Structure formats: C-alpha cells, structure tokens
Structure 1
C-alpha cells in the first residue's frame, strides 16, 4: 500500500479510537428541571430534554405500576412475591434474597425505596407481568401514556442498558404522576429506614433531612448517568417537584437540589411560560395537573410495621441476636457477628468499611462498575481531613488511568477524623500496575487487600 494510503488508514483508525474513547469516558449529562406539582408549570430548567440514563430512577416507574396494581386489586400489600433465579441473581445493591424465597409486597416497596434493591425491583416486575421483559414493555407504554415521550425502559431496576433512556422533563412528569395518581401510597417515599430479617437498612436520600418539607422521591446512580435525584417538597401549601441528573458527587447533587428548590419556593407562584406535558395514563392528550394532596407520614416506617409483613427465607440458617436493643432478634447466621445496622452483602459479608455520614456516595453506586472477578485488591491515593478532597483525589486517579480503573469502584473510607481516598475492585496485578504509574506521576499510592463484601459496601 502506498505510504500516503497508510497515513490515511492510520489517521482513520486513530479517529475511531478517539471517538470510541470519548464515548466510553464521556461525562454524564448535567440537566435539571423544577415544576409546580399542582399547576404543572415549569419554574426553571436546564438541558431538560437531553437524553441520558435514568439509573435507579427507573424504580419510580416500577413502583408506579405496582401502586396501580394495588389500586386495582390485582395484588395486595400482604401478598407474597417469589424471587425467581433471574431476580435473585441481580447485582448489588440488593436484599440477597435466595431464588424461590418470598417477601411481602410491602417489604418489596420499602426495599426499593430505602435500599434501592435491584433484586426486589425485578421480582416486582415479574410478579406483575410474568417476566421482566414484558414488564419493561409495560413500563415504556405507561411512560408514553403519561406524556414521557423520550423515555424507554429495558429493565425494572435501572441496571445499565444502553437503550434505557430518559430526560429530566420526563422524570418530572413521572414524579408529579406518582403524587397525583397514588397519594395513598406516596408516603412510602418518605421512609428513611426499614428492617428485614433482623437487619436495619438506612436510606441515602439525604435531601429528606436537608430541605424543609421534603418527603421523597428517589436517588439513582450508574457511572454513565452520574448521580441522579428526583425530590418533592411542600411549603406553605405549595408543592414543587425537582429533578437533578448527572451530578458529579451525591453531595453536590443534593446541594444543587436544595438550592434549586429553596429558590423555587421563594419565586412567585408562576412558571417560565412552559407547561409540563402531563397526561393521565389513558387520556388522549396533555392535562393540567390537578391539586395534589399528600397525607402526612413519619420520616421512617416503624420496624414493627415491616416485621409483620416478613416471610423468612427457609434456605438461610437463622440465629438469635440481642444487638437491636429490643431483646432477641432473628437474623441470618452469616452476619450475626457483624454490625446489625450494616446491609447484607451478596455474595460476601464481613463488611468493615464505613463512609462519611453526610456525603457518602449512594449505595446503588455499585450498579455498573463492579465485575465480580476483580476482587481482592485496591489502591489508596491519600488520606484527608475532609470528604471532598478525598473524593477529588480518587476521581483524579481513575481519570489518570482510565484503562486500569475501567471496572473499579471509588470508596471513600472514613477512619476516625480521616477520609481515605480508595479505589477498589482490582486484581493484584492491576493494583500494583496502577500504583507504579501513579507514583511515576508523583501521586502517592499504596496497594491494599480487601474482600468482595468490602468492595461492594457502597
């Protein structure tokens, strides 16, 4: 081949590699919208119609369809949901329910809201539609009926799928629809904790405690989407729904939401001239959102309420534990020696990692960055007095070596007054290689060993 032809071929290949690299490591879309839930007026928006990934916001539609089934009498809160092999195999975050085991419908709702449990969301979809694929088709059809014209669903839980797409505007439509259509069930979104088989799970929607009047709705994260959040709040008889997508950290996402909503409540009760194209599920066209009345609910659901709905998994050996302060509680033998406030991890246990209380990443952040074969090692790139610089250092390290860290997991480990910037989910060879290259770039680095439970902690 002539030299000139080789040059053009090389240039073409280089362009293709650059294009693929740019696509693989593209930054998440940053978008937002805030609407008046009663009038449907859009108060503010930014990139509201740019397509992105919903991540665990997908579970809002899963619950919308479950609430619809409850309202129609197809299913009851006290009914049991059986976990198929497919549902039980869903990646973390999950409840680690065994295939063939059952949980009550109300437990599944709390697991989805508080824990963002992927296995529970899939089990709900299979219970309603027979299969997750059939359920995803119903999800998409319902989205269209509600006016969510730019949303497509491919699964019930939000785990990564390149065809599962949405926009900030569509998520606002869904948030308002949940308020409008199911006020009798909306209070579940205010739950901050629940108990399952003797383990108390704490939620990670910190806006509930940072914004006056906030009472839901859902967080979400996969690497391609960034940190997502839909929030609803009521102040002085006025209810707003806000959406923030593509946040770089959960702390900054929450901060943006609180600032946006506070500004919205201080803004006169009028929008920017744009109306949310909100439709009733079976209507022919857009409809103005009717007045929304949400019953007051406690910030957390009492453990006793949840315990009454439990169906034990006979496959898991159980032991007694008195660590809950209420006498003997029954919990899985595999975690009976651990902290009862920590989640059950799948497939490992023995969790030792603790995170900054105020700004830790969402627990569902594991969703698309974990590969089960890459267990055992991680790297630490510094220890800091504050969370933010630790997070920044870990992010900087992963961006410096994108090929090595492509399937790794950032984990900010709080130890005493220090926040250790760590990246987990590596093989020993990759961890050593990463440290060697980072040290060559004059970045402090050390290799540490971990286990599958530790790496999945967040």
Structure 2
C-alpha cells in the first residue's frame, strides 16, 4: 500500500512539475512586492503579458531612457549634434557612481555621453546632458515629465536625469514599455546606440551592463537599472524577422534572476507576436508637442580637460569626432534662454542633509515618507542612494590611440586640450590619405606650471613610415616631426 501511494505521489508531482514548468519563474518573481512585468507587441501595440504593469515603481537608471529620448530629440531638431561638447558642471561632476569621472569644467562629446549612458549608465554624464538641454537639471526634469505625458505615460514623474533614488520619481512597467517603443519608432537613426556592446573611453573599454545583448537572439537593447528601492530592472527590445517585442521586468531580486525572467518572457511570447504592423501607424504616438527645445549656452572652460578623474586617466575619446570650433560657434549662436517650465511642479518636500564622509560630503535625502517603502532614517537613505550597482562588467585595458606604440607624428602643442584636438581634426581633414590609418590623440605635459597638450597621430610602424607621413604633411604646409613612443 505504501509503495502504491509513493508511486501515485511521484506521478502527481511529475505531472504538476511538467505542467507548471513554464510558469515557475513568473510565479516566484511575483512573490516580490517590487515585481512588475509587461510584454508588448511592438507591431500592433497589443499587450501579450502583464503583471502589476500599472503599479507604481521606482525607475532607477531606466530614467536615462528619457534622458536619451530628450537628447535624441534635440539632435533631430538640429539643436545639438554628436560632436557638440557637453561641459560638466560641479553638480554633474559630483554625482555618485556609476560615473565616467569627468572633472568639473571638463567636457566630452554628445556621442561619448550617449554611449556612457547606454553602457556604464553614467550618472554624471546624464546630469551634464540634462543641464545642457534644459538649462538646469530641474527644468530638464519638467521637460522629461511633460514629454512623458505627451507619449501617454500617465504614471510617470521624473525628478532627476539619472535615476538615483528620489521619493517623488516613479513610473510603471507599462510606461517604460511605451518609452522603449517610442525610442525605436521616433529615432531609428539613433536607436542603434542601444545595441553597443562596449566602447573605448580613453584607456578603458567600457562594457554594456545589458547581458542579454548577444545572449538572446534578436535582443538589440535597451536599458538596465538598479537601486535597492527599485530592485533589478530591465527593458528589452527584440526583433526577430518581422516579429517585434518590447518587454519590461522590474523589481528583480538579482541581475541574473531578472535576466532569466526576461529570457523566459521573450521565449514564451515572441512566437505569439504579429508578423506585420498596423498599416504604418506609430504605436507610440505623441499626443501633444513640447515647446521647441533650446539648449543652454555652451560655456567652454578656459582649460578644457575632458579626462576622467579615475585611474587610468583618459587622453582621448575614440567614440566621436572632436568638436570643431565651428561646431561650438554654431551651438552658441543658436542658443536661447532656457525654456519656461511647461508643467506645474508640486512643492518639493523639505530636504535634510545626511553626513556621509565616505561619499565625499553631505548627501541630500527627503524626510517625507512616501506611499511606498523607502528608508526612514538618514543612514538608510545614504545606504540606498549609494547602493552598489548591479554586477559591473570588467573594464579591460585595451590598446587604443591614447596608449600608442611605435612611432607618431606630432603636429602641434597647445595650452588647450580642446584646441589641440581641433588642430588634429583640421589636419586629418587636410590630409585624409596621409593619415587614413593613423589615430589622433593628445598628450598632456607640464611646463612652467602650465599644462600643455601635444597633438599627435599614432599608428606608424617605423621611423621611416612616420617621417614619410610627416614629409607629406609638410608639402601641405603642415608643420610636424616624427617621434618614437
């Protein structure tokens, strides 16, 4: 009798396991109060899966999706371009990690800023972009929220450009899916940035936090996010043949479990997606337009030093062309005063200051207790705001133009790194065939207490090759000399 009962129990258990196998992950994830998920057919707008999709959640670094939307919009309107310098204010430079570490007064190109948000999720670059586009981060967040409303994101309010904890900043899984679709539909010319696996920033190779890129067929972005309050978040875009999905998972208990949950949703619902769209209409429609975006004036520092404060320091950004003086002049000439707020903002709660010496100074936190669980004490606020991000990919040193070997050709020396880079850009345009295989970079050095920058081209295997290139440059009236590295 005992043997018969055991066999029956085993059969029941086996059947239950087999029938429930595909729903184990969702069921487990749903136990967490932070969990929310949605899967949208990006061809038709149909919801294929929904779990707490309209419940309020903290966006964490998914916030940067809207920062990038606003950046792409400014680019599409011709207000800025990929080479426009993004100057880092003291406020931007002081943002906590993760960051790229540009010092106050330094600058990088818009393209480098975009890639730093997509890959490393750099908080300092997000703030710098917001301040440039909105005139101030506060005004930029009003613009972000207004744009969210125009896209139909009714459950979202933005209070900063990066996603670090703020009790007044929230969203929903459905809204994040809408934003993901809008990025694909409205800016196809820029959307490929989200599929960047890694990029070279000076001496670093910065890898993308999104581990589903290259792991799941068809995944082409979009963004990860994490704070202790939000849990592990992920928005994924999938294109496989004519089928298109945008899926969101929020509140994961770990990066791995979140990724596995997303993979399970994609595997389950991609076969159910439509193979054709709805007659060419956009799924993410803009209901009303914001006033025309005007960027703040580009105030270039006297000594433009776009090098990260972290080690190893970067001498050159490889991901974008150097901004020329014409680019800078065009931006300044077209600049206008910051736009007035487009929506009324509710009064902000009182700000208290928590001492946190290990984070470089006082840390603001809000003492008002929100509807959802947030830290009740200053210590908890600091701990949450500066919680370790999800497992960061290793940053490997690679051989780039900033650490050249062999021989180089020097064409100028300047007390301004920006001017040195502009000279490199001009020289490359004057002699494209001579420098076709060369890599431009700058080398700082001290003289009389002043920092100067040598403008050089690397990539020459021998002394003869370098001098040959230099002689060709001299024929074009370009002064130069060859030097061993």
What is the TM-score with the length of structure 2 in the denominator? Answer: 0.54
Residue of structure 2 equivalent to 1:253: 258
Contact 1:194 1:202 in 2 (8 A): yes
Distance 1:333 1:202, change over 3 A: closer
Match in the other structure for 1:165 = 170
- Between the aligned partners of 2:194 and 2:59, the Cα distance in structure 1 is 17
The answer to whether structure 1 residue 219 and structure 2 residue 252 are counterparts is: no
Q: Is the 8 A contact 1:197 1:312 kept in 2?
A: no
Match of 2:214 in 1: 209
Alignment partner of 1:132 is 2:109: no
C-alpha distance 102-181 of structure 1, shift in aligned 2 (>3 A): same
Asked if 1 retains the 8 angstrom alpha-carbon contact of 2:75 and 2:81, the reply is yes
The CA deviation at 1:210 is 2.0
Match of 1:335 in 2: 312
Is the contact between residue 197 and residue 332 of structure 1 (CA under 8 Å) also seen in structure 2? no
Equivalent residue number for residue 68 of structure 1: 73
Structure whose alpha-carbon radius of gyration is higher: 2
Q: For residues 73-101 of structure 1, give each alpha carbon's deviation from its aligned partner in whole angstroms, at most 9, with x where no partner exists.
A: 01111111111111111110011111111
Mark the CA change 1:231 to 1:404 in structure 2 (over 3 Å): closer, same or farther: closer
What secondary structure is seen at the aligned counterpart in 2 of 1:207?
A: coil
Q: Deviations over 1:381-400 (max 9, x none)?
A: xxxxxxxxxxxxxxxxxxxx
> Partner of 2:357 in structure 1?
373
Kindly indicate whether residue 128 of structure 2 is the aligned counterpart of residue 123 of structure 1. Answer: yes
- Using the alignment, how far apart are the partners of 1:404 and 1:89 within structure 2? 18
Aligned to 1:238: 243
Distance 1:99 1:164 in 2: 26
| Shift in Å, 1:282 | 4.0
C-alpha distance in structure 2 between counterparts of 1:406 and 1:51, whole Å: 22
Matched with 1:97 is 102
Residue 278 (structure 1) shift: 5.4
Compared with structure 1, are the counterparts of its residues 413 and 43 closer, same or farther at alpha carbon in structure 2 (3 Å cutoff)? closer
Q: State the TM-score, normalized to the length of structure 1.
A: 0.57
| Two-structure CA RMSD over aligned residues (Å) | 3.5
The Cα shift of 1:120 comes to 0.4
Distance 1:223 1:371 in 2: 20
Structure 1 residues 254 and 313, CA gap change in structure 2 (3 angstroms): farther
Residues 1:210 and 1:86: Cα distance change in structure 2 (over 3 Å): same
2:155 to 150, 153, 157: 150
Alignment partners' CA distance in 2, 1:262 and 1:413 = 24
Give the gaps of 5 or more residues in structure 2: 1-30, 276-281, 290-299, 315-353, 360-378, 393-485
- Matches of 1:122 and 1:317 in 2, distance apart? 16
Deviation at 1:312, TM superposition (A): 12
Q: In 2, are the aligned partners of 1:244 and 1:253 still within 8 Å (CA)?
A: yes
Q: CA deviation at 1:280?
A: 2.3
Aligned partner of 1:14 in structure 2 is none
1:158-191 Cα shifts (integer Å, max 9, x gaps)? 0110010000000000000001100000000001
Partner of 1:196: 201
Tell me how many residue pairs correspond in the alignment. Answer: 289
Aligned runs of 1:23-422 on 2, under 5 Å?
Answer: 29-267=34-272, 269=274, 279-283=284-288, 334-335=311-312, 372-374=356-358
- The answer on whether the counterparts of 1:208 and 1:214 sit within 8 Å (CA) in structure 2 is yes
SS in 1 for 2:357: coil
Q: d(CA) in 2 for partners of 1:411 and 1:58?
A: 15
Deviations for 1:243-271, whole angstroms, at most 9, x for unmatched residues? 0000000000000001101111122639x
User: Which structure 1 segments of 5+ residues have no match?
Assistant: 1-25, 271-276, 285-310, 319-330, 338-369, 376-401, 415-458
Q: 1:212 to 1:372 in 2, by over 3 A?
A: farther
Q: Show CA shifts across 1:216-266 (max 9, x none).
A: 000000110000000001112111000000000000000000110111112
